[in-house]
Chains A and B, each alone.
Chain A
Amino acid sequence: MKRLHEFLKSRWGIVSAGLLIGILASTLQKLGNPKNMGICVACFERDIAGSLGLHRASAVQYIRPEIIGFAFGALIAALLFREYRARAGSAPIIRFMLGFFAMVGALAFLGCPWRALLRLAGGDGNAIVGLLGLICGVGIGVLFIRSGYNLGRSRHTHPAVGAMLPLLMLGLLLLLIIKPILPSGAPFFSAEGPGSQRANYLAALGIAVVIGFVAQRTRFCTMGAIRDVILMRDFHLGSGVVALLVGAFIMNLVYGQFHWGFAGQPVAHTNQLLNFGGMLLAGLAFALAGGCPGRQLFLSGEGDGDAAVFVLGMIVGAAFAHNFTTAGTPYPNNPPIWGWGTGAVLVGLAFCLALGFLMRRSLEG
């Protein structure tokens, strides 16, 4: 175990993890997940929101086992290596709102940073614009972090607090397996559209548990990769992210899943203002919250109650995004330049910028 721990925390460890995640993500697409969406934490949390009836966009409703597996895999890793620590108390309502707006931004672009990388690995040129927005957003976050922004300290707390999100995930898994039939129709499962495109749930769950495990051990974080390069010229996390891109790209070539272009890419649009702006907002929100959406799930699995609140904020943000039509719509029905999506992104940016300026304080005590 000690040797495994030493390997996974090394540079070769995170590169191997990135390669593995990229390969598995492409494989999930081959097994039935939507195109260029083998993994998308934002989209999949949105699908869960839909399945629970928090929104009624019928094309995107499904209890994604990948989200459940990420949390479980991280929990297993944390317990095995004695890193499970129930902790909370670091401005939870702020983290909830950061999760909310991170999702608003991600859905404007139609993907989280994980999906942005997978879209690029699948040949979607629009992802380049999204990634540029993400880098800029994280860069703004770094400026705030450098000038003293922080959300305060968390504290060790009762184990029940840390167990909440894994228990919620267990509940979702039971709903997925049992599929109860209720008069309301919940839980909802899409019959068409991206929500209906899914790998076998056991395969998806198993793959996600593996990813959750290695990601927890390697501290994998797509936002952190960009942040650490800008902040400290540290390429440790970045090497894992590049490896993910390479692994996914190679497997896409093997599976015949690479198609280069801008227009007509799966579950993507060509409104580049929204692609850039959405990921600018998402990147800034992730930076202010301390982790990308995948990382927040892995932290939740290891007992971090504040990360769990961020995840819940993302799920609620997804519901809002679809109920108030701020989410992007795929080509050829591009979202308008001046519409609800742009408005929501601007509000989110204003919120995050205000937070960055206002939450700068000393950490004494």
Chain B
Amino acid sequence: MRKSSYRSEEVNALDKLDCRGLSCPLPVMHTRKRLEKLVAGESLEVIVDTGTSRDNVSRLARKEGCEVTVRETEEGNYILTITRKA
């Protein structure tokens, strides 16, 4: 997985969701709430910091019919870019 740096101030935008440090099931719950407002073609970035959250959020997004790409940051976090399919 290609690594890149991630600036923490980027998580405050409306289309980004910071779920770092949250334990089960909060990352999935928060993502699900945001996905309800996502329309076709729009993207949501979710940042998590554990493999469990990465896999659970990915599974939720795919179940909701979205595309998911994952990249790992230098700090060991995962950024999931979730796009609602047209």
Contacts and interface: CB of A to CB of B under 8 A. Distances in A.
Interface of A: 9, 78, 81, 83, 85, 87, 89-90, 145, 150-156, 219, 221, 224, 227-228, 231-232, 236, 290-291, 302, 306, 363
A231 B29 contact: yes
A219 B22 contact: no
Interface residues of B, number: 19
B23 A151 contact: yes
B76 A90 contact: no
A236 B29 contact: no
Interface in B19-69: 20-26, 28-29, 32, 49-52, 55-56, 59
Given A231-B29, A363-B22, 10 more contacts: A9-B55, A9-B59, A78-B51, A154-B23, A219-B56, A224-B24, A227-B25, A232-B32, A291-B23, A302-B51
A90 B23 contact: yes
A150 B25 contact: no
A219 B58 CA distance: 14
Contacts of A302: 50-51
A214 B76 CA distance: 22
Contacts of B20: 153
B21 A153 contact: yes
Contacts of B21: 87, 89-90, 152-155
Contact of B22 (A9, A85, A153): A153
Interface string B1-35: 00000000000000000001111111011001000
B49 A156 contact: yes
B75 A156 contact: yes
